[in-house]
Structure 1
Amino acid sequence: MARRKKNRRVQRGASRSQPPRAFPWWTIGQGLLTLSLVGVVVWGINHLADPETLPLRQVNIKGQFKYVTQQKLHKVTAGYVKGGFFNVNLKTIRTVVEELPWVAQVNVRRVWPDALQIEVQEKIPLARWGKDALISIEGEIFTPPEASFPQGLPKLQGPPDSERLLVSRLEKIQAQLNSLGLRVVQLTMGERRDWHVVFEDGMELILGRAHSKQRLTRFQQIYAHLLRLHREDIKRVDMRYTNGFAITWHGNTAPAWVREAAFDV
């Protein structure tokens, strides 16, 4: 009997009808809203990309210029400053300006609602490099037109990839000798890392390879106490000696004061 009652309960439960499902109006509404928003966004992007929308009306160029002119910058960017505010290619404009030999850094940005601003930083030349190039204070070699080379720059010369070392050494040597009135016009590092200095009046200083910094300090002391009094007679000072130095005189002849007097350093 118990088994029959159980079967009856199962049959009654299985025979109940399911309630009808509600139509998914909410889901459909969300889908339509999403499609509408996507359409609006696409339309907005296309509208802003249209060159007729917010056209560029002015280009502002900023910087302290000595070797690059604003006229030159306007000229090289004219063919790329076109289109609307949002679709102008900033990267291309930056690349074009950076290709100018005197330009060190460029920053290009949009200025709402219709302007473009180009900020330029020039390279600062430190010295001539070889025959037809310059080297900046950052140790970068660049080759602007020779007619634009500044006058009075010292000359650096050395093996490939030695430019940063030469820049650093020039600055240190010049700073150390400033008080003596000696101005370096040429600094050369040979293939064996030997150092040779030429000063503004033509006097040469040979430091060699080993202990060049110590030799420079010894030259500084000797020059301050003795050699500066006879600077016009000296052609070359060779510091490549452990306990002394050698002097080459103009005309390869010792002046009268040397022949007449003996001195100790």
Structure 2
Amino acid sequence: MTKSPGQQKGSLLSSMLLLILFAGGILVFADFLLQPDRFPVSRISFIGEFRHVEKSALQEKMAPYIGNNFFAIDLQKLEAALRDIDWVSDVSVSRRWPDTLQISVKEQSLIAAWDKTGWVTSDATIVEIPGLKMPGLPRWSGPEGTQVLVQLRFQQFSSLLADVGIQLRQLSYSQRGAWQILASNYLRN
């Protein structure tokens, strides 16, 4: 049975009205959820090992977000702000109902001293941390941008020397491509 043009028009009008009511309901609900004074963030939970990252530095970066609407906080912007803190390698922020932001922090892991003032992280990034002393780490040096190569060679040389009971302490790579090592028994080659 086919509908008459009047019935089709009424059916289309009913569908459009229903769609408008539904969309309006969503907008009203979204407006309710995003009101600044509703659903405020009142707690922060930190996850991670904190050897060098100061929780107070994290809390200082978080301060502008406390009391803001749980649903309206820009998590990516917050994560970017937290990554700027010294020693932070990676950070993840998530919401925990009803009022908590959970901050998961991964610290930089230093694997070697670089030249005179730098440090090499586990992802081969050079960072400057003034005044830091970590005497147990090996010392590497080389031209700018060679830290990945130096890291690779250090691993290779260390493996070879470990087989004969020698621990590699320093590795230098020169502009002309020469390698210099200093071993634990202070043999220089």
Give the TM-score of the pair, scaled to structure 2: 0.87
Change (3 A) 1:98 1:57: same
Q: Which runs of 5+ in 1 are unaligned?
A: 1-19, 206-265
More relative contact order, 1 or 2 (CA 8 Å, 6+ apart): 2
Match of 1:247 in 2: none
Q: CA deviation at 1:52?
A: 1.8
State the structure with more CA Rg.
1
Q: Which amino acid aligns with 1:199?
A: A
**Secondary structure of the structure 1 residue equivalent to 2:61:** helix
Q: Which amino acid aligns with 1:155?
A: R
**Secondary structure of the structure 2 residue equivalent to 1:22:** helix
Distance 1:118 1:190 in 2: 42
**Secondary structure of the structure 1 residue equivalent to 2:182:** strand
Change (3 A) 1:63 1:171: same
Match of 2:167 in 1: 183
Taking only aligned residues, the RMSD between alpha carbons, in angstroms, comes to 2.1
- Checking the alignment, whether the CA contact within 8 Å between 2:113 and 2:138 is kept in structure 1 is yes
- Checking the alignment, whether the CA contact within 8 Å between 1:101 and 1:143 is kept in structure 2 is no
Change (3 A) 1:190 1:42: same
Q: Which runs of 5+ in 2 are unaligned?
A: none
**Secondary structure of the structure 2 residue equivalent to 1:53:** coil
Counterparts of residues 75-94 of structure 1 (less than 5 Å): 75-94=60-79
Counterparts of residues 211-250 of structure 1 (less than 5 Å): none
Q: Deviations along 1:49-104, whole A, 9 cap, x unmatched?
A: 11222111211110012111322211222223441111011111111111123111
Match of 1:168 in 2: 152
Match of 1:71 in 2: 56
Match of 2:84 in 1: 99
Change (3 A) 1:21 1:155: closer
Query: Which among 91, 96, 107 is matched to residue 122 of structure 1?
Result: 107
> Which segment drifts farther, 39-48 or 23-32?
23-32
Match of 1:250 in 2: none
- Checking the alignment, whether the CA contact within 8 Å between 2:168 and 2:181 is kept in structure 1 is yes
Distance 1:98 1:85 in 2: 21
- Checking the alignment, whether the CA contact within 8 Å between 1:130 and 1:157 is kept in structure 2 is yes
Q: How many residues align?
A: 185
Give the TM-score of the pair, scaled to structure 1: 0.64
Counterparts of residues 142-157 of structure 1 (less than 5 Å): 142-144=127-129, 146-157=130-141
Identical pairs, percent: 24
Match of 2:20 in 1: 35
